[in-house]
């Protein structure tokens, strides 16, 4: 049986984030990847210069085309810049039998460029967070969703994760990559349980696409039939290794990509 994951996200012309990062991650982890494009970006390691949104009806047509033929085992959702596109994705998820959904609430690119319209944040919260099995906000995204300051301690991360559970999320992976200290700690917050994942912090400028990569790796684990805790643990280990190997890539003059194929490319 072939494990299959679907990514619903925007395209990164620089290849380090978005659909491209997701498909690379799926492939590196032994999962077949299908895709639904929600937006095209003119983007490189230095920033985003233009965004072209895919019409909502065409987003829905892609969803229907994939699900009507391909037995998808897990879904990862990334960049959705407009409310109408979010509505189309929510309708598409409801139209087909349920499978695990990983929602990465992408709001701002690594370069600082905004990827989600401010007016669309409400639609993301009301339509997609309740439909997701796990959401994967970084510290800034969690704060933005809650309208509060960014967490600076693990206790604050836990409390914000619990607050997002109260907004309808089934589970919240609070990502600590934007924090400080020698360790990068993520907290998987579920009703009645918090699981801690920690790894040494990798000192590298090559952080483009880290959020996309981690959420795609979680979806890959779920597509293989692993439980959420196992999927998150394996995803954390994969991203840490991809960050550590990123110095072996020389791509662009800004925030370079992680090395998705560190385990298969020659040293």
CATH number at residue 126: 3.40.1190.20
Q: Which residue is associated with the tokens 């949104």?
A: 53
Domain count, the chain: 1
Is residue 16 in some structural domain? Answer: yes
First to last CA, the chain: 32
User: In the prediction, which pLDDT does 244 show?
Assistant: 95
Is residue 125 in some structural domain? Answer: yes
Is residue 200 in some structural domain? Answer: no
Q: Can you tell me the mean pLDDT for 52-78?
A: 97
Residues noted as catalytic: 175, 207, 209-212
The pTM score is 0.95
User: In the prediction, which pLDDT does 178 show?
Assistant: 65
Tell me the pLDDT tens digit for each residue of 216-261: 999 999 999 999 999 999 999 999 999 999 999 999 999 999 999 9
d(CA 153, CA 147): 17
Tell me which DSSP letter residue 196 carries.
E
Is residue 88 in some structural domain? Answer: yes
Is the pLDDT reported for residue 113 higher than 60?
no
d(CA 148, CA 138): 14
Is the pLDDT reported for residue 22 higher than 70?
yes
Q: At what angle do helices 228-244 and 210-223 cross, to 10 degrees?
A: 140
Is residue 87 in some structural domain? Answer: yes
Is residue 177 in some structural domain? Answer: no
Is the pLDDT reported for residue 177 higher than 90?
no
How many Å separate Cα 151 from the centre of its chain? 19
d(CA 6, CA 36): 7
d(CA 56, CA 41): 16
Q: Which residues contact 67 (CB under 8 A, 6 or more apart)?
A: 92, 95, 96
Burial of 163 (0-12, 13-18, 19+ CB in 10 A): middle
3-state secondary structure (DSSP) of residue 2: coil
Structural domain boundaries, residue 226? 4-135+206-248
User: In the prediction, which pLDDT does 25 show?
Assistant: 98
| pLDDT band at residue 112 using 50, 70 and 90 as cut-offs | low
């Amino acid at each position: 049986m072939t494990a299959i994951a679907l990514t619903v996200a925007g395209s990164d012309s620089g290849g380090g984030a978005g659909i491209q990062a997701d498909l690379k991650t799926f492939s590196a982890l032994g999962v077949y990847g299908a895709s639904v494009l929600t937006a095209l970006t003119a983007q490189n390691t230095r920033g985003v210069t233009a965004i072209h949104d895919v019409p909502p009806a065409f987003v829905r047509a892609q969803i229907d085309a994939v699900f009507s033929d391909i037995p998808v085992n897990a879904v990862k959702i990334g960049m959705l810049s407009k409310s109408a596109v979010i509505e189309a994705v929510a309708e598409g998820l409801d139209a087909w039998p349920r499978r695990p959904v990983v929602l990465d609430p992408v709001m701002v690119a690594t370069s600082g460029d905004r990827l989600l319209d401010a007016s669309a944040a409400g639609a993301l919260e009301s339509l997609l967070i309740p439909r997701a099995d796990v959401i994967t906000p970084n510290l800034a995204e969690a704060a933005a969703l809650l309208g509060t300051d960014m967490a600076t301690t693990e206790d604050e991360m836990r409390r914000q994760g619990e607050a997002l559970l109260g907004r309808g999320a089934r589970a919240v992976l609070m990502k600590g990559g934007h924090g400080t200290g020698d360790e990068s700690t993520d907290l998987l917050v579920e009703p009645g349980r918090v699981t801690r994942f920690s790894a040494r912090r990798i000192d590298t400028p090559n952080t483009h696409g880290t959020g996309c990569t981690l959420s795609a790796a979680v979806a890959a684990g779920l597509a293989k039939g692993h439980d959420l805790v196992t999927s998150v643990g394996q995803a954390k280990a994969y991203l840490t290794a991809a960050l550590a190997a990123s110095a072996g890539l020389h791509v662009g003059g800004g925030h370079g990509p992680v090395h998705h194929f560190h385990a298969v490319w020659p040293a």
